[in-house]
């Protein structure tokens, strides 16, 4: 392979070119696209397996439907890479998932062909229902590509239910059945889809809902797909077109990788499919090791995840305790309430999710778990700034929603050792729900504790003419300790503490605030309604006279880029935190910059003064 990115045919491609091409030309184009995807995605990282599986399907969609007049939707948007190539974005692929580069998901700002920015699964049929109601007046069609894994989510069935009640809605539901979401799809729906393939006369749930059904169709046969899509379009009614595809199709390393068919990859070798550099220990690995150890000690511990068994680190636990781990599919609401049922029966449930996906189960965490004071442990991977996956995947909102829940305790480990400690404390908690949150990153070097005071770790301490307390929440402790050492040169006494369990703010934490002129809470989550805000409110309620300032992620949807880039632009690296501390000490309000605070404008970074005001 090589030179694919400069191919003028791919670089200048348009939907009209696809419609004008012969089937032979499309076959050649499909192979060129696969080579292009392998070369480019291996160089940047991204969702490779899902896109290799939908090459012919996407070509056929653009043959039949005239985007953007007809609306082509992808659930989820990470399978839209071929769609991006067809709609003129091939030349941007070297910047895929890079800061200011091409998004790894559908993105409205990139193209009129991207109707929705859909990066949470099972939503597309609801979008399609609304769009189709409007489309009836304009003689347009809606094609909604739904992965079979997304069909495990309850919202997909709410969409199907309503589409079945809208016989004139011009929606073609393209069921992309590859037997997988991230890993092989499990449950009754997967079995039914398999039966439709092997025994089509045994009954059809879609037909039973009064939806038209066409299939199953070979999802790698462009001619068969084009005919099926054309027939479905011409019905002007909700139709399910059942397409059988193979995730990772056409690339040997993916087809041989049975665990996930190279669903999402980092930077890897395009020939071998393996990384050129050895991977470092991540927070996820630390959790996976420790929860397995705890599993041996607690035979009543049960783990639940929502189609993220391997990404959340539960692979080893599942191997050792196959009967004590449950992957419920893309069904976070069910996962949380199922955990509540386990807790009611005396088990110790641990729900392992991505932070951003817990958003979908807030009501269940509030009413089904917390209201019953059940000891469910939520382990939130990808918390904080996650990097290249962008706005829908940054885990910056879980502290906002979870800290509002009565009785919940939120732990934020600063390093691998504290993650192990907090996880054990969470599992041993019996009074109500607990949350442990950590980022998608390499686990940081352990920061030793200088002193342990009533559950709070003092990481560094000094006194000067002006005294500053940095309340470091989670992995930002590394940056905070650097700041403390730097500002001491200006006769500023700096103390850094790790509250370990910042929610709810402990009395000992509030006691710590007294005696300091300035207090800064620092977290890589939303500063609006976040953990720092809760600490500031508690301090005010307790009558503390210290000035408390909250540093965190601006109230905005953060873009994609590396974790380091976005933390730097949010002034949450050591240099940025130090800048803001100097701003305050010089009598300048850090909240006077609404662009930075509310809309994430990264341009603001004034130079720190030579010395602090005394």
CB-hemisphere CA count at 13 Å for 247? 28
Query: Is 63 a catalytic site residue?
Result: no
Give the active site residue among 89, 97, 348, 360. Answer: 360
If we measure between CA atoms, which residue out of 500, 506, 530 comes closest to residue 398? 530
Q: What is the dihedral of CA 550, 555, 561, 566, to 10 degrees?
A: -20
If we measure between CA atoms, which residue out of 113, 205, 103 comes closest to residue 151? 205
Distance (Å, rounded) from C-alpha 334 to C-alpha 332?
5
- End-to-end CA gap in the chain: 63
Distance (Å, rounded) from C-alpha 151 to C-alpha 160?
10
Give the active site residue among 34, 89, 233, 247. Answer: 247
Number of helices and strands in the chain (H, E): 25, 17
Distance (Å, rounded) from C-alpha 114 to C-alpha 116?
6
**Spacing of C-alpha 484 from chain mean position:** 32
Annotated binding residues for Mg(2+): 148, 178
Query: Is 348 a catalytic site residue?
Result: no
Residues 6+ apart with CB under 8 A from 139: none
| Residue located via tokens 């007046």 | 137
Using DSSP's 3-state secondary structure scheme, residue 243 falls into strand
Annotated binding residues for thiamine diphosphate: 78, 119-121, 149-150, 178, 332
Q: Do residues 79 and 7 touch, judged by C-beta distance below 8 A? A: no
| Residue 322 phi, psi dihedral angles, 5° rounding | -60, -25
| Residue 95 phi, psi dihedral angles, 5° rounding | -100, 10
Give the active site residue among 117, 332, 569, 578. Answer: 332
Distance (Å, rounded) from C-alpha 508 to C-alpha 511?
5
Q: In the structure encoding, which two tokens stand for residue 23, read together?
A: 């089937």
Distance (Å, rounded) from C-alpha 328 to C-alpha 240?
24
Query: Is 191 a catalytic site residue?
Result: no
| Residue located via tokens 């199709």 | 249
Annotated binding residues: 78, 119-121, 148-150, 178, 332
Q: Which active-site residues does the annotation give?
A: 247, 332, 360
């Amino acid at each position: 392979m090589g030179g694919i990115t400069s191919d003028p045919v791919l670089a200048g491609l348009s939907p009209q070119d696809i419609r004008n091409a012969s089937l032979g030309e499309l076959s050649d184009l499909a192979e060129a696209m696969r080579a292009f995807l392998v070369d480019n995605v291996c160089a940047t990282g991204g969702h490779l397996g899902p896109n290799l599986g939908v090459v012919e399907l996407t070509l056929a969609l653009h043959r039949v439907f005239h985007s953007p007049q007809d609306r082509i939707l992808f659930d989820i948007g990470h399978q839209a890479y071929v769609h991006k190539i067809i709609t003129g974005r091939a030349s941007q692929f070297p910047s895929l998932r890079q800061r200011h580069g091409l998004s790894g998901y559908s993105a409205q700002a990139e193209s009129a062909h991207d109707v929705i920015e859909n990066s949470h699964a099972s939503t597309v049929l609801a979008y399609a229902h609304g769009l189709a109601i409007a489309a009836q007046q304009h003689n347009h069609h809606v094609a909604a590509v739904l992965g079979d894994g997304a069909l495990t989510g309850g919202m997909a069935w709410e969409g199907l239910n309503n589409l079945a009640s809208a016989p004139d809605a011009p929606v073609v539901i393209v069921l992309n059945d590859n037997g997988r979401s991230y890993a092989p799809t499990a449950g009754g729906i997967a079995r039914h889809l398999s039966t439709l393939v092997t025994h089509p006369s045994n009954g059809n749930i879609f037909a039973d809902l009064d939806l038209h059904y066409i299939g199953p169709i070979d999802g790698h046969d462009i001619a068969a797909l084009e005919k099926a899509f054309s027939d479905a379009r011409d019905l002007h009614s909700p139709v399910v077109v059942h397409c059988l595809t193979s995730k990772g199709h056409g690339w040997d390393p993916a087809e041989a990788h049975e665990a996930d068919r190279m669903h999402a990859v980092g930077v890897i070798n395009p020939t071998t499919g393996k990384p050129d550099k050895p991977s470092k220990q991540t927070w996820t690995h630390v959790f996976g090791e420790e929860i397995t150890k705890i599993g041996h000690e607690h035979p009543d511990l049960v783990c639940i995840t929502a189609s993220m068994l391997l990404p959340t680190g539960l692979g080893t636990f599942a191997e050792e305790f196959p009967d004590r781990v449950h992957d419920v599919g893309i069904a976070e609401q069910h996962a949380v309430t199922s955990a509540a049922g386990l807790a009611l029966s005396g088990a110790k449930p641990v729900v392992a999710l991505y932070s951003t996906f817990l958003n979908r189960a807030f009501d269940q965490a509030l009413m089904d778990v917390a209201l019953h004071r059940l000891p469910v442990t939520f382990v939130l991977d990808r918390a904080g700034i996650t990097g290249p996956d962008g706005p829908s995947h940054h885990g910056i909102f879980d502290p906002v929603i979870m800290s509002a829940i009565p009785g919940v305790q939120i732990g934020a480990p600063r390093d691998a050792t504290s993650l192990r400690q907090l996880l054990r404390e969470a599992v041993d908690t019996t009074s109500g729900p607990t949350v442990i949150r950590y980022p998608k990153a390499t686990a940081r070097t352990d920061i030793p504790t200088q002193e342990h005071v009533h559950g709070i770790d003092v990481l560094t301490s000094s006194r000067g003419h002006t005294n500053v307390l940095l309340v470091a929440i989670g992995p930002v402790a590394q940056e905070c300790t650097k700041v403390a050492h730097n500002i001491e040169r200006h006769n500023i006494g700096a103390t850094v503490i790790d509250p370990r369990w910042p929610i709810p703010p402990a009395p000992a934490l509030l006691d710590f605030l007294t005696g300091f002129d300035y207090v800064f809470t620092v977290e890589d989550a939303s500063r609006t309604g976040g953990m720092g805000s809760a600490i500031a409110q508690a301090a005010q309620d307790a009558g503390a006279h210290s000035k408390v300032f909250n540093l965190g992620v601006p109230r905005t949807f953060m873009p994609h880029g590396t974790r380091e880039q976005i933390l730097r632009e949010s002034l949450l690296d050591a240099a940025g935190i130090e800048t803001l501390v100097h701003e305050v000490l010089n009598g300048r309000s850090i909240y006077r910059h609404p662009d930075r605070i509310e809309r994430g404008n990264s341009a603001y970074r004034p130079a720190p003064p030579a010395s602090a005001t005394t």
